[in-house]
Structure 1
Amino acid sequence: MGAAEIVGTDLLQGDIAQGINHAAGKTAADFGGTLPGRQAFVDGRASAAVLMMREREVAPVPTGKIGVAEFRLASSVVVVATHGSNRAEQITLENLANVFARDPRSPARNWNDLDPAARSELITPAVCSPAGSMVLEIFQGIVLEGQPFRPDVRLRIEPDLAADLLASRAGTVTLIPRRPSGRGKVLPVADGRPGKSSTAYGPDDNNVHNGDYPLQVPLILYVRQDRLAELTPTLRWLFSDEAADLLEKQGLFPAPKAARTRFVQRLDTR
């Protein structure tokens, strides 16, 4: 592996990798996964790495304690959606665990189990985690803390079925990678865990990028300071509208345009 390569999460295989190679004028991307990418970056076998950074994970430090520039490139997100007629205004991580977990603290089968003022309506939980997204894995890690889903949760449903449930099933709560394009109501999510905010945030671009929306894992781009100059043309493309569109098509939330503009300014003023 050459020292000018970008490595990391396999979510960026395909169009993003091809765009990087085109911008670099050579094969520069090797997205074989976060763990091997992190190791290659630390060992000095890669100049940059895009890593999925879960809570409490520390940034990689290259051998020799080389300085590192950090850019929050995108996030893999879990959006919680329900039928448009549902009167729920928000939901907490604990409520979601009570709905989806096999052995929750306080099982919720009906919407009025979550809110006594809600109408009596059976909850029908479903997960839409298409290829290239991490909906199931992120939700299971953050909300279920690794425990299994309850047996009647519909796992890995197709996007068309998710859209149909949101349009036609009053009691549905469906986990999807992006905001619904058709009918359906997005529920803001409150973290509420000890030491965490109890404010509910919706999955808009700024709440995701700022880290306020709790159901996400960010994709952080780490670049060795001593390689920034040679990687600048490639990084300019990675921060472009074209790359952001490709990240969005992949089911990810790219950094908002204002943030990407700041990234480019950092390249120009180093």
Structure 2
Amino acid sequence: MQATQPAFFKQGPKPLTRLLIFSTLSIALMVGDAQLQMLGRVREQVAIVLYPLQWLATTPFAALHSTRDFLTVQTDLIAENRKLNDQLLAAQAKALRMDGLAAENAQLRALDYRRTKAPSQLAEILYSGRDPFSAKLIVDRGDNQGVQAGQIAIDTQGVVGQVVRTQAMTSEIRLITDRNHMVPVMTQRSQVRTVIYGRGAGQLLEVRYLAPNADIKPGDLLVTSGLDGTYPSGLPVAVVVSVERVAGASFPRILCRPAAGIDTHRFLLILDPPPAGPAYPAPAAANASAS
């Protein structure tokens, strides 16, 4: 007895036949699309339908690439910003050094001009004195350079102080602001002679024991009078800041600002001592005058 295949399981055309049918259909569609653009609308509709699926499939990769590019750019920007900041700091430091060198050069040129007018030698300030109760400077000139105690130190603006101690390679200069320092001065305007005293490091100078009716007022320039034989005459010392005349007081209170840059300069000039002349006329000159 031969079994028959149910209708549900009946096979269609043979595989070879199906191959020929679908091959012919495919060729016909390709030729028609190439010649007549038959499937253009179909492709557009299919692309529209598949776009959401394509977007969902590509979005994670696009986000990953965007994140990587963002982090790379941020890293590059941070590195470049740090490099630019370093260059800016270096440029600012260089500008500050250039400003300092320019100021130093201007001071040296001014000191060189002063040196041509009076015999002197240039000295560089090494450090301030260690005693907090005195106002002193240590400079790099000493006995080996011919510096002697008593010589006067000046800057481009006025008197700085006086050499009080020398060693082989250094000297100690007592500033005019020191409490133990005084300078014979006179007012440049009215020629009133007096003495100015130091009051300590960082303090104003003071004129003491001046007559209450003396012709002196704020703004007057005090210069060395030359009466003591140590300070050459005409060197600026201080500028009068205030004059207080109190009724009943024996002397006015007169405060002055140093003319020199006591705490601002790095170089100063040490004036050569004046040539020592005979205290009295020579015997031959005396005899000649007597005859």
**Band the TM-score falls in, shorter-chain normalisation:** under 0.3
Quick one: higher RCO (CA 8 Å, sep 6+), 1 or 2?
Answer: 1
Structure of greater Rg: 2
TM-score (norm 2): 0.18
TM-score (norm 1): 0.19
Greater helix content: 2
